Chains A and B, each alone.
Chain A
Amino acid sequence: MRGVTRRSFIDWLLGLGIVGWISSVLYPIIQYIIPPRVPEARLSAVKVGKVDDFEPNSGRVVRFGNEPVLLIRTEFGDFKAFTATCTHLACIVQYRPDWKLIWCACHNGRFDLNGINIAGPPPRPLEPLKVVVRGDDVYVTREA
């Protein structure tokens, strides 16, 4: 090995030692600040209320575990549900009875009653969820 003096070898070792030392400090810190994934309980179905709690042609944001979900009762009386998180920049959407559309107030994004993005900046449709009416009770479930 020509050109490697004892001096440059020691410099090299020292450099390696410093890099190793810094990374052994940084690695745990970086790992620490990444939040651990808490296993979400697979929610099967959540009861969100009674049929009569929801007027036709209205919508309400309900809790589906940790997720906000927009539950809509159309003017014809049937139920629809979508994740309420806008696909643009994560604002929470609402139902506009006057337009019979889903509206995001943040940047004027619009979705139709199938959750399809039809105007404004949202790039993707809203994820649909299933609504089950059993007797008087309204349940929201994620389609398996």
Chain B
Amino acid sequence: MWRRIYRWLDERYQLQALVEFMSHKYVPMHRHTIWYYFGGVSLFLFLVQVTTGILLLMYYRVGEDASYESVRFIMSQVRFGWLIRSIHSWGANLMILTVFIHMFSVYFTRAYRKPRELTWVSGFLLLVLALFFGFTGYLLPWNQLAFFATRVGTEIVGSVPAIGHELVRILRGGEEVSGATLARFFGLHVALLPGIFTILLTLHLLFIQRQGIAEPESWAGRPESEKRRMPFFPNFLLRDLLLWLIVLNVLAFLAVFYPWELGPKADPFAPAPPGIKPEWYFLFMYQTLKILPAKVFFLEGEFVGVLFFTLGGLLWMTVPFWEGRLGKYRNEIAHLIGWIVLVYIATMTLWGFRS
């Protein structure tokens, strides 16, 4: 039966060539192989987000008087609504975490070097987009925590000299965080961001397809017989699928035993409750802003922070283009920079949690 379907398709679409092609792709095997899985897991989590996101769309409504109520409806009335929403929320957090891990593993194995510069750049942009997904999605349930986190988050942009105020108005769709903000964030979250993300992701994967997976530098000059490889198809793919199954189980476990809370509805005329903090993936930036003085020279402290992370992000994104000029100790220097960035993000995040 399967054979016949396969033959029917093969006759028309030459599947054999594809199988041939895939069985010639190899994944290098060495003690860092484990890190190769994080890209695949991130991809899987994105697919989970798209699926659960589309399901949420069937009941979610946008508006100051509708959003909170519709999310509460999803959680209390819709069968398995609580599960879908919880998976979407947990999935967002796990996805951002795995993308971070994926990025640092690429950095430390120096797989961003020629010829993979653009794979690195597209990957970095995907991380930035994932952060935007998180920021815009967070507001959508229109609960109190999200309302104030968005007020604070958008207000930071107001520190940009001259055009700051206008930028905040564009972000919020008006002077205040209101139903207009909700409408904007909704459009970004479910239409614009998924579109751009999908295009970039396709490019990212095409680049990888074309070039194959980077081999560790220590392999250069080794005889072929000493290089251990695993065929991408079916070995690596099957392991990947197994891992996806495990990740799905982790997600289900988190969603069932730690269901995502909704909290009270946003009230633009009530004082902010204590403990307003952004999601953990913004904490390192937030904590940096908090420890900056109100004025640095003649600039607002927040703006200096914004500038610092914009420039830092640009340098990080363009690593493959300037790292080659570091000279004799480029490996050591690049390694050191990676650790500084990683330790900085980790300490600031922890500090942000505790304060």
CB contacts under 8 Å to A, within B178-192, are 180
Q: Across the A-B interface, how many residue pairs have beta carbons closer than 8 Å?
A: 61
Q: Which residue of B lies closest to A107 (CB)?
A: B290
Contact assessment for A68 and B170 in the assembled complex, using a CB-CB cutoff below 8 Å: no
Q: How many residues of B contact A (CB 8 A)?
A: 27
Tell me if A89 and B155 are in contact (CB < 8 A).
yes
A34–B170 Cα gap in the complex (Å)? 5
| Interface mask (A50-62 → B, CB under 8 Å = 1, otherwise 0) | 0000000000011
List residues of chain B with CB within 8 A of the CB of A62: 269
- Contact status of A92 and B271, CB under 8 A, knowing A35-B174, A66-B176, A106-B276: yes
Q: Is the CB of B276 within 8 A of A91?
A: yes
Distance of A123 Cα from B272 Cα, bound (Å):
18
* In the assembled complex, B327 has its CB within 8 A of some CB on chain A: no
* Chain A, interface SS category: loop
Q: Does A33 contact B (CB under 8 A)?
A: yes
Q: A48 CB to closest chain B CB, in angstroms?
A: 11
Q: A89-B156, A106-B276 are in contact. Are A123 and B294 (CB under 8 A)?
A: yes
How distant is the Cα of A20 from the Cα of B207 in the complex, in angstroms? 33
> Which A residues are within 8 Å of any B CB, using their own CB?
33-35, 38, 61-63, 66, 68, 84, 86, 89-94, 104-107, 121, 123
B residues sitting closer than 8 Å to A (CB atoms) are: 148, 151-152, 155-156, 166, 169-170, 172-176, 180, 268-276, 290, 294-295, 302
Question: What are some 10 contacts across the A-B interface (CB < 8 A)?
Answer: A61-B271, A62-B269, A86-B272, A89-B302, A90-B151, A91-B148, A91-B272, A92-B268, A105-B271, A105-B275
